[in-house]
Amino acid sequence: MAHGIFQKLTGVKGEARIPSLGALIGTMSQWSLTWRGEDGVADSGGPYDLRAVFSYLNPHLWEDDDYEKEITLMLGKSKQFRVSEASEETVLNGRTLLMKGVSIHGY
């Protein structure tokens, strides 16, 4: 991803999977990534905050720490971002997710 492209990005498609099981554990109906660095130039290294609303979520698999989760955000028809685990906190309240301190990686 190019350096300095966006401060905030929103979308309507995303998903959470457990790759080792081949299981889809959640689909997102909306999401936003907000960069919150200090120097005013956004980059793919983060830190970003991810806010998302799930239209479908398996809370039991989401809460199971034995499995590594993979979150993918879709932008348009072909652009995808993989979100790393939050370095600060992850809060799931019902179907609303907040992950602070994530980094993103383009496919």
Answer yes or no: is pLDDT of 39 > 70.
Answer: no
Q: Residue 101 falls within a domain, yes or no?
A: no
What confidence category does residue 30 fall into, taking pLDDT thresholds of 50, 70 and 90? Answer: very high
Q: Is 40 within a domain?
A: yes
> Does residue 105 belong to any structural domain of this protein?
no
Specify if 25 maps to a domain: yes
pLDDT at 107: 63
For residue 3, being part of any structural domain is answered with no
| 18, part of any domain | yes
Task: Please state the domain count of the chain.
Answer: 1
Grade residue 103 by pLDDT with cuts at 50, 70 and 90. confident
Q: What percent of the chain has pLDDT over 70?
A: 84
More confident residue, 78 or 55: 55
Residue 45 belongs to what domain range? 8-96
For the chain, give the longest Cα–Cα distance: 40
Q: Is residue 21 part of a domain?
A: yes
Q: Is the pLDDT of residue 1 over 50?
A: no
One-letter amino acid at 16 equals A
What pLDDT is stored for residue 97 in this prediction?
95
Q: Which residues contact 34 (CB under 8 A, 6 or more apart)?
A: 7, 8, 48, 49, 51
Q: Which tokens in the block code for residue 73?
A: 């955000």
Inside any domain, residue 51: yes
Token couple for 21: 């099981």
Q: Are 49 and 98 in contact (CB under 8 A)?
A: yes
